[in-house]
Amino acid sequence: MNITQTIKHLDWLLIAAVFLLSGLGLLTVYSAGNSGSAFFEKQLIWLSIGFFVMLAVSFFDYRIFKNYSSSVLGIYLFAVVLLLFLFIFGSNIRGSLAWFRFGGVAFEPVELVKLVLIITLAKYFSARHTEIYRWHHFIVSGIYVSLPLLLVLVQPDFGSAAILFFIWLGLLAIAGLKAKHFLVLVSLLLVVSFFGWSYVLHNYQRERLSSFLSPQSDPLGAGYNILQSTIAVGSGGWLGKGLGRGTQSQLNFLPEQHTDFIFAAIAEEWGFFGVLFLISLLAFIFWRLAKSALSASNNFSKFFISGFMILILTHGFVNIGMNLGILPITGISLPFVSYGGSNLLMNFLAIGLIQSIRVRQIEFEKDEE
């Protein structure tokens, strides 16, 4: 397959939507107070790297994962070892041992783990989805999830642990989840949540998670972030205050305005129509992914694309929910929008794998004609 054919067969509508979404995030990062310019430059570099990674991966034959279990097991073990190394070489940032630092660059392994888990479960379920009702497959797939989930929970990173769980739950549902399995999952979720709440999270983290229920009770402490976020969202009106003119953002009342609370910054500066544009782009990306999943020629491709859809959906839902004050603050980023190289790069890597699936399917259909 030559370069021209590969580039021609890429889903350019999906790529355009992703870059529009990333562009909206870049502009908002640029307007984020005095440090916005530095964040903008770094994010622009990550976005450029992400584009070339996506193109490079589109030439990679995804069927290596589909056909060879050893390749999937290899990257899974590599991801788990990375999480273990965090407890030796990791940097503690904001109370969580979740990053490797290389000079001025920080890498968050859990973002790679999310993608690797999707590949692992796609491989496992694609060969067994017709008999997923058997307890054996339910338990084995649960073990694949439990190892990284527990390591992430101990960091502690409650938000990412929940994302890993919902990736498993979503793919189980697609594979054919039975009612008795669902009850077990609910029980497991309650046990893990209780364990994490009681023995893993620090007091300030518990306060941050529970503050969304009554932020007014501690407006200058645990409830501060939620109150400032909801004020920023509500003050944007229909058209917003304009780029770089958001008072909550520019006066630094809004915390983490380039990462966790970038949605609130967009709502304040771009208003309701800016938010509508953002959600429309996310919905369009979701539709293009759904279309690719439905037209995929094999089960591995269907499960992988579906897993990435679950990842995008849960990240978007949790981030927007915590910006609106209806979900606890968990530090989950808004896909393709929030500042951060690890999440952005892994998302582009996933898009590259989806492009690889699309390109090879088109070539296969042409050969069949």
Give tens-digit pLDDT for 168-223: 989 988 887 777 777 777 787 777 777 766 666 666 666 666 666 666 666 666 67
Judged by DSSP in three states, 143 sits in helix
Query: Contact at 8 Å (CB) between 72 and 118?
Result: no
- pLDDT, residue 366, reads 63
Residue 38 lies in a domain: no
- Asked whether residue 112 is domain-assigned, the answer is yes
pLDDT, mean of residues 225-249: 84
Percent of the chain with pLDDT over 90: 51
- Give the DSSP H or E segment for 121: helix 109-128
Q: Which residues of 101-120 are buried (b: 16+ CB within 10 A; e: fewer)?
A: eeeeeebbbbbbbbbbbbbb
Give the DSSP letter string of 92-111.
EETTEEEEEEETTEEE-HHH
Top mean-pLDDT range of 68-72, 201-205, 213-217, 229-233: 68-72
C-alpha distances (whole Å) from 1 to each of 31, 50, 164, 231, 362 are 43, 23, 35, 53, 11
From CA 346, how far away is CA 155, in angstroms rounded?
20
**Which run of H or E residues covers position 299?**
helix 299-323
User: How does the average pLDDT of the chain come out, rounded?
Assistant: 86
Radius of gyration of the chain (CA): 21
Q: What is the DSSP letter of 127?
A: H
The more confident residue out of 216 and 9 is 9
Q: Give every CB contact of residue 177 below 8 A, 6+ residues apart in sequence.
A: 132, 169, 185
Q: How confident is the model at residue 98 (pLDDT cuts 50, 70, 90)?
A: confident
On whether residue 137 sits in a domain, the answer given is yes
Q: Which domain holds residue 255?
A: 65-334
**What distance in Å separates the CA atoms of residue 220 and residue 190, rounded to the nearest whole number?**
31
CB 286 within 8 A of CB 351: no
Average pLDDT over residues 347-365: 90
Q: Which H or E element spans position 91?
A: strand 91-93
SS3 141: helix
Q: Cα–Cα distance between 326 and 1 in angstroms, integer?
A: 49
- Within-domain flag for 19: no
Most confident of 43-57, 179-193, 231-245: 43-57
Question: Which of the given ranges, 125-129, 166-170, 221-225, 250-254, has the highest pLDDT on average?
Answer: 166-170
CB atoms within 10 A of CB 208: 24
Please check whether residue 12 lies inside any domain of the structure.
no
Is 157 within 8 Å of 114 (Cβ atoms)? no
DSSP label at residue 156:
T
Q: Does residue 282 fall inside a structural domain?
A: yes
| Domain count of the fold of the chain | 1
Among 159-163, 177-181, 283-287, 309-313, the least confident range: 177-181
Averaged pLDDT, 297-302: 93
Tell whether the model's pLDDT for residue 323 goes beyond 80.
Answer: yes
27 falls within a domain: no
Residue 80's pLDDT band, with cuts at 50, 70 and 90, is very high
Which residues, other chains included, contact 36 with Cβ-Cβ below 8 Å and sequence gap of 6+? 29, 30, 258
Q: Please give the average per-residue pLDDT across 309-321, as a whole number.
A: 96
**Predicted pLDDT at 189:** 74
Residue 127 has pLDDT above 90, yes or no: no
Q: Is residue 141 part of a domain?
A: yes
**Mean predicted confidence (pLDDT) in 97-117:** 90
Whole-prediction pTM: 0.91
CA distances from 256 to 60, 108, 142, 152, 253 (A): 36, 17, 34, 22, 10
- Percent pLDDT > 70 in the chain is 88
Residue 299, sorted as left (phi over 0), alpha (psi -120 to 50) or beta, turns out to be alpha
Out of 86-100, 212-226, 350-364, pick the least confident. 212-226
